[in-house]
Amino acid sequence: MRVGGGGGFDTRSALLTHRVGLPRLLTHQIVGSAARALVRPYRRAVSTDTAADPRPSLIVMIATYVAGGIGVFLGFSTIMSTPPSLTWACLLAVGAGGLLSFIRHSLLHRSDAARMGWDYGKRNNFQIEVGLANLAWGLVAILVVVMDAGIAAEGAVIAVFGCYLTAVAVMNLVAPGGQRRALGPGIAISVFGLCLLFLGIRGLAV
């Protein structure tokens, strides 16, 4: 039946449209509500995630530089002695330095990332892999000393660590401005790497 003039409408068609459209509308509302309920906990977890504390990593980093500095100082003292030795340099600068760097990069990876401004709020496996590399040469350095492998072996391990740090220093120089280390740490790692490289080559040449 038609109601009104030419602008009227068919009541049966309107009723059918109403009956079909209402369930569809309710379905959209239910699905939308369910989707929001699923997404909301994730958003809350991300937005309220507490930032990592950089202080533990900073303390370990300072300990690493102290052990490395003492090791380099002793290395320059003993490489000139008779007979020459790099035992303490290998044990402290590479052994202790490698183990401490492993702790900082791998075990305290969130704290270390926060210290460097790289904390993305989640685990970074690549950063942990770097710590495992530090662990590898740290353990080898300790084994070289414990097994009394000689100054050439000590020099080789020291040279490996020196090459790594020197390469990092060069990378820092050529990196874009916003991705470079601060001036102080950049100078420290450059000097440390070059000193280790010098001591390692001297040990290999004996």
Distances from the Cα of 104 to the Cα of 166, 185, 203, angstroms: 20, 16, 29
Report residue 165 as tokens: 């740090």
**Do 39 and 62 fall within a single domain?**
no
Which of residues 206 and 70 earns the better pLDDT score? 70
Give the three-class secondary structure for 115.
Answer: helix
How many structural domains compose the chain? Answer: 2
Residues 44 and 60 in one domain: no
Residue 159: name the closest of 173, 132, 187, 140 by CA. Answer: 140
In this structure, is residue 199 part of a structural domain? yes
User: For residue 56, what is the DSSP state?
Assistant: H
Residues 22 and 100 in one domain: no
Q: Read off the pTM.
A: 0.71
- Residues 6 or more apart whose Cβ sits within 8 Å of residue 194: 162, 166, 169
Q: Per the domain annotation, does 98 fall within a domain?
A: yes
Q: Is residue 1 part of a domain?
A: no
- Averaged confidence pLDDT in the chain: 80
90: which 2 tokens? 């290998």
- Kindly state whether residue 34 falls inside one of the protein's structural domains: yes
Domain encompassing residue 35: 10-49
Examine the domain organization and report whether 43 and 122 are in the same domain.
Answer: no
Predicted pLDDT at 132: 96
**59-117 tens-digit pLDDT:** 999 999 999 999 999 999 999 999 999 999 999 999 999 999 999 999 998 888 888 77
79: three-class secondary structure by DSSP:
coil
Which pLDDT value is given to residue 179?
Answer: 67
Q: Does 18 share its domain with 100? A: no
